[in-house]
Amino acid sequence: MPDSESNLVSSHVDVINRTSVLSEMKISNGKRSVERRAVTQIGKNGYPDSIYINAAKIFQGIRTERSSGRVLVRYGDTSEPPVVAFKDEHSRRESYELAFRALKYQDLLEEMLLDSKVYPCYSIPDELTSLLVVMLCDLQDRKFEKRKVFAEEEPVAEVQEIGHYLYRYKTKLAAALARCRIKYDALSIEYFVPETISKQEQRTSAVPVCFWINTFKISLEDVVRDLEMKGFTKVESVSDFDHYTYAVDQHCHDVLVFPSSLREELLNLDLFADCKLLLQDKSRSLAVHSAHALLSEGGDIIMAHIGSHLTTAHMSVLTNDSSSRIFVCGVKSSAKEEELRNNFSHMGCENIWLLHEDFIELQPTDPRLEKAKVILLLPQCSELGAGNPMELILSEHSDAGLLRDLFQGFVSEDKLRILTERQLNELIHALKFNKVQAIVYCTCSVYPEENELVVKKALESGVEGDKRPYRLIPSIFSTCSNSESSTEMFFKIEPSEISSGCFLAVLEREKKVSAKDILASAAAKALLGDIVEEKPKEEVKKPKVKQRRRKAAASDSKPKAAKDLHHHTGANVKAEVPVSKAASKIQEKQVCPTKAGSNTPQKTAQGKKAASDTPQKTVQGKKAASDTPQKTAQGKKGASDTPQKTVQGKKAASNTSQKTVQGKKAASDTPQKNVRRTKAASNLSVPKAASTTQQKKVPRTDSCVELKKSVNPD
């Protein structure tokens, strides 16, 4: 009977062969294909001893703990976190995936051990119970077949002992599995997967996969041509997917989106093997594109976390056409540094600088970061909004404890508090960098505590590098799904079966903008509506002034000599003629711009001081300064080498200068010269008495009629 039960169980047990994605390893085409085949063989024949040991250590830290009244399987002391050493990236991934599978089926595996009487075993101490559960999980995956011996690695005594023990009782274990399935009427062992994990895996299997194009190695046009040759068809959006189809992402122009069913096929393409197409969660592409859009020419960028080297490489590709440098924080070991340099070199990235310090340890005044203008902050978060949280946790070397959160479908309050405190401290530290002009904060969390609340708390902290505070600005992407308001500054994508989740906040230092510029910008955008800027009073009176000017032009048959108002800008000598307020306004309206002549250029100055460096200037009832330059004023001022003054409309004449009224050219017997302001101050002196007489001869009046008479005495 046990043998028949074993055969029955073997025929119904689903084999879970999970091939690892080796997207983050520098491997040649031949080596990559060999290693991919090796991974497939490992799924059928077991794992090397070191992977079992590491998976057991990980499982010990993330397993579900029972209440004291329900403890039937004891796992030993878990007070200290286990120290895990991986041979390479491949073994690390295999260890984590095996540990997570054991976590998924923990209830079933424990029940199998207890029902078969395989546990407890007095020869196996409690400290090795985790190894027992992990190896039982793999034995069930292999349909209780014998494990292959890997000769290339030295065997581990504990692994060999437990492996032989489980295989000796494989029939009892298979029968226990069959009884569990009958008891719960389970068609497959997937029935024992918690509902939260089941829903997450269903969403993961449906979410389209995203690949960004490494333009260091290939152009978008060449990728499209290559895909078309392989039978792929380009469509407009993910809603149009039909197996061998793809679309360009709506937010990132260098990201291609494929149906999730093509994942394994795409990973076998030469485009992927040659690092021309890189598989990565879309949230990371959104983050690097946001940071790149804020980067000024020649400015550097600080990446606060090493995370996945693919994120850094993507930023390097986007900044290829500029002189920007990318500083990556937190590269602690020389082995990690060498690994990253090899990866970046293989992908064609050159403008990347690796820093050993964590971001929080960097000084804002660090001379290496003097040209840094943007900080990209991708803090460790709960990752529950990612399309494939497991893949993201593995690729970014996140905390193994997040696997427990993923299993539960939520993050405990203590864990969430630790994450948010760390995120807030990092964001506040980013605000202290004086030269930085913008910060991009991005997570894959679904919790407001890790998203909006962290950003708002940081902005309210008042900790900023200089007097100009930061403000939230919209990202370069349009407001996307499930956004509460179009005016919301945060960019959010809720996790769904067609997209992974993402939260993005862009902080920028406030710029000093004058009120005039603000009004001009608002007017250009048609935001002022019916609000019309109030016109100055002189513009309202303008038609009357034109009418008076026409009358004056009709009545005058001879040019009027203007009264010369000397204003010397020298150190000790000044002569000013006060003009009434009303008369000054009328004078400003009567001055007409004059064209520059060949020898005596003239300039129009509207109510301002005329400079002595330019030979001739038109003065509108204000002060003029010059030694010999001639000036044109509309019927007001006359000048000569020896100052001659007339009162209210009399002509001023001399041998050296004559002036015309209303834009006519001035004639002179002697050549006109440009005299600098300093010479005017030193060579020309006006007696105080003359200045006083000059002031007395100009009548003060607020009446426009009296002013008209003074201009046209005839």
Q: What is the rounded CA–CA span in Å between residue 188 and residue 13? A: 7
**Do 42 and 149 form a contact (C-beta atoms < 8 A)?**
no
Closest CA relative to residue 436, chosen from 514, 366, 337:
366
Per-residue model confidence as pLDDT tens digits over 428-477: 999 999 899 999 999 999 999 999 999 999 999 887 656 678 999 999 98
Q: Would you call 124 exposed, middle or buried from its count of C-beta atoms within 10 A (0-12, 13-18, 19+)? A: middle
pLDDT at 519: 77
Q: What is the rounded CA–CA span in Å between residue 230 and residue 265? A: 11
pLDDT at 318: 95
| pLDDT above 70 coverage of the chain, percent | 64
b or e along 693-712 (b: 16 or more beta carbons within 10 Å of the residue's beta carbon)?
A: ebeeebeeeeebebbeebbb
pLDDT at 127 over 60: yes
pLDDT at 707: 42
pLDDT at 150 over 70: yes
Q: Which single residue is written with the structure tokens 């879309």? A: 282
Higher-scoring residue by pLDDT: 289, 628? 289
DSSP state string for 662-698: TTPPP--SS------HHHHHHH----HHHHHHHHHHS
* 215 HSE (CA, 13 A, CB side): 15
Catalytic residue at 180?
no
pLDDT band at residue 478 under the 50/70/90 scheme:
low
Catalytic residue among 349, 444, 502, 704: 444
pLDDT at 466: 60
Q: Which single residue is written with the structure tokens 């009487």? A: 117
pLDDT at 672: 44
pLDDT at 602 over 90: no
Per-residue model confidence as pLDDT tens digits over 47-97: 999 999 999 999 998 998 877 667 789 998 766 777 788 888 888 889 999
Contacting residues for 705 by C-beta, under 8 A, at least 6 apart: none
Per-residue model confidence as pLDDT tens digits over 288-316: 999 999 998 889 999 999 888 999 999 99
The average pLDDT across 689-703 equals 44
pTM over 0.75: no
Length of the chain: 714
The average pLDDT across 624-631 equals 41
Residue 628 tokens read as 């010999």
Number of H helices, E strands in the chain: 26, 15
pLDDT at 686 over 80: no
94 backbone dihedrals φ, ψ, rounded to 5°:
-65, -40
Query: Bridge partners of 439?
Result: 375, 507
pLDDT at 140: 95
C-alpha torsion sign, points 610, 613, 614, 615: positive
Residue 142 tokens read as 């292999």
529 backbone dihedrals φ, ψ, rounded to 5°:
65, -125
pLDDT at 395: 84
* C-alpha to C-alpha distances, 109 to 179, 244, 249, 471, 573, nearest whole angstrom: 13, 39, 42, 53, 104
Q: What is the DSSP letter of 713?
A: -
pLDDT at 155 over 50: yes
Contacting residues for 366 by C-beta, under 8 A, at least 6 apart: none
The average pLDDT across 609-618 equals 41
pLDDT at 646 over 50: no
Q: Which helix (H) or strand (E) holds 245?
A: strand 245-248
pLDDT at 468: 77
Per-residue model confidence as pLDDT tens digits over 518-535: 777 777 767 776 665 554
Q: What is the rounded CA–CA span in Å between residue 352 and residue 315? A: 9
Residue 211 tokens read as 């690949």
Q: Which helix (H) or strand (E) holds 445?
A: none
Q: What is the rounded CA–CA span in Å between residue 245 and residue 499? A: 17
Closest CA relative to residue 444, chosen from 400, 377, 382, 388:
382
Per-residue model confidence as pLDDT tens digits over 266-287: 989 999 989 999 999 999 999 9
Q: What is the rounded CA–CA span in Å between residue 108 and residue 461? A: 49
- State the amino acid at position 189 in one-letter form: I
**Do 59 and 133 form a contact (C-beta atoms < 8 A)?**
yes
pLDDT band at residue 673 under the 50/70/90 scheme:
very low
